[in-house]
Amino acid sequence: MASERQIAANRANALRSTGPKTAAGKLKSSRNAYRHGLSSPLPLDQVTFANVDALARAVAGVKTNDDRLSSAVDFARAQLELLRIRSLRTEMMENLQRGDLNQRELRRIAALDRYERYCSTRRRRAAHKL
């Protein structure tokens, strides 16, 4: 059981660690997920839509129902996102090979694994529904 002194210390620490307070700090922290754009879905432009549609129809086959086509669209989106992540990783690795080796870039490359695993899971689940 925590003592009164520990409880007071925990409450004081909690008040200090609730995130940014200033407008500049809030703006900066709100942009954290947009560094490389991988946390957002694929853009909804005509080219991306055409690529998703073509890949989904190829995966679903000639005789498709709405349920199968929906799973194929999910599969196609995940596959295109995986290709985007892998392309970005290749580009970053080429930059490192040119001598731009620093800790920040290495951490960014390592962070791509999380996005790749997420997309791989989405693709695998869509494939099981097919």
pLDDT at residue 114, rounded to an integer: 86
23 pLDDT higher than 80? yes
- pLDDT tens digits, one per residue of 62-73: 666 777 888 888
Residue corresponding to tokens 């390592």: 110
Percent of the chain beyond pLDDT 90?
A: 11
30 pLDDT higher than 80? no
- pLDDT tens digits, one per residue of 75-129: 898 898 898 889 888 888 887 777 766 777 788 888 888 889 988 999 999 889 8
pTM of the model: 0.63
- pLDDT tens digits, one per residue of 46-57: 888 888 888 888
29 pLDDT higher than 80? no
